Structure 1
Amino acid sequence: MHFVTGGAFNGKRAWVKKRYQEAHWISAYNHDPMPADFQKIDKNLIVLEGIEIWLRELTKQYDAKECRERWNQFLNYWLAWENLKGPRKVVIIGTDITKGIVPMEKENRLWRDVTGWSYQDLAEMAEKVDLIWYGINQTIKSGGDC
């Protein structure tokens, strides 16, 4: 897995599109549901965009612990799909919402906290992590052939 993060409107999508031109895109910004099954996708390269939106949906249904457990189930599924056969790759793009002023509303604080914990879990599992600011990447974790 390759995790790409950074601030809103900082060029994450453009950077990923340039690097992974043949990918199948699944985007929370287009109201696509968080995928639990890649079996019907005939590509070996999948980009998941807007994971912070999917995490927000989880926080509307579950407490923080259950959100993180469910998130990790998705991560484990995506990692298993990658490792099942051939050269497969899942690229995950998430906007960093964990900086700045702590939200006053309880539900927004929960979303921010769950997103931060989920990104930590993703960064740990990912083979590579890139931070994008103003269209420029900084690799903060590197391993394998991404």
Structure 2
Amino acid sequence: MILVLGGMCQGKHCFCRKEFPEAELIDDFEYRIREQLKQGKDPVKEAESWIGDKAGFFSYDSGVSGDESEGIKDSGSDSAAEKREIVIIMREVGSGVVPMDREEREWREAVGRVSCIFASRADRVYRLLAGIPQRLK
């Protein structure tokens, strides 16, 4: 698993398409976290469960809907040759002015904590600023 972090419009997607053309790109965790908070779920526990259950053993399909693993489906194969590298793209949302709205603060906190979980479990972590990647791990 690879984690790519960066602010809005910093070149994360271009970097990932260039460096990891065969990888499964997953870039909707901020939205998943917002929905989990609305449903009263703990995004940190959901992320830990997702990594434990799915990382390395699924393919991403944005058309899938349903439970908390929305967008994720079993690939049906344990063959290493058929598994694709997973690249999670996360926006950095912790910088700047702290929102006055309690729900927005909770969402930012959850996104930061989930990013920390992904970073600790990732094989590689990159941060992009102005299109320039910096390998952190």
Does the pair score TM above 0.5?
A: yes
Q: Are residue 86 (structure 1) and residue 80 (structure 2) matched?
A: yes
Please tell me whether the aligned partners of residues 50 and 95 of structure 1 are also in contact (alpha carbons under 8 angstroms). Answer: no
- Structure 2: gaps spanning 5 or more residues: 59-77
Q: Which has the higher contact order (CA 8 A, sep 6+)?
A: 2
Query: In the aligned structure 1, how far is the partner of 2:56 from the partner of 2:46?
Result: 15
Number of the residue aligned with 1:95:
91
Task: Compute the displacement of 1:78 (Å).
Answer: 2.9
Query: In the aligned structure 2, how far is the partner of 1:132 from the partner of 1:50?
Result: 17
Query: In the aligned structure 1, how far is the partner of 2:118 from the partner of 2:29?
Result: 11
- Dislocated runs of 4+, deviation >3 Å: none
Cα deviations across residues 92-146 of structure 1 (Å, max 9, x unaligned)?
A: 00111111111111110110000111000000000000001111100000xxxxx
Number of the residue aligned with 2:105:
109
Task: Compute the displacement of 1:68 (Å).
Answer: 1.1
Q: Output the TM-score relative to the length of structure 1.
A: 0.73
Number of the residue aligned with 1:69:
45
The count of residues paired between Structure 1 and Structure 2 equals 116
Number of the residue aligned with 1:21:
21
RMSD after superposition: 1.6
Q: Which residue among 109, 131, 136 is the counterpart of 1:135?
A: 131
Cα deviations across residues 1-38 of structure 1 (Å, max 9, x unaligned)?
A: 0000101000000110111223xxxxxxxxxxxxxxxx
Aligned-partner residue type, residue 127 of structure 1 = D
Q: Which structure: greater helix fraction?
A: 1
Please tell me whether the aligned partners of residues 78 and 90 of structure 1 are also in contact (alpha carbons under 8 angstroms). Answer: no
- Structure 1: gaps spanning 5 or more residues: 23-44, 142-146
Percent identity over the alignment is: 28
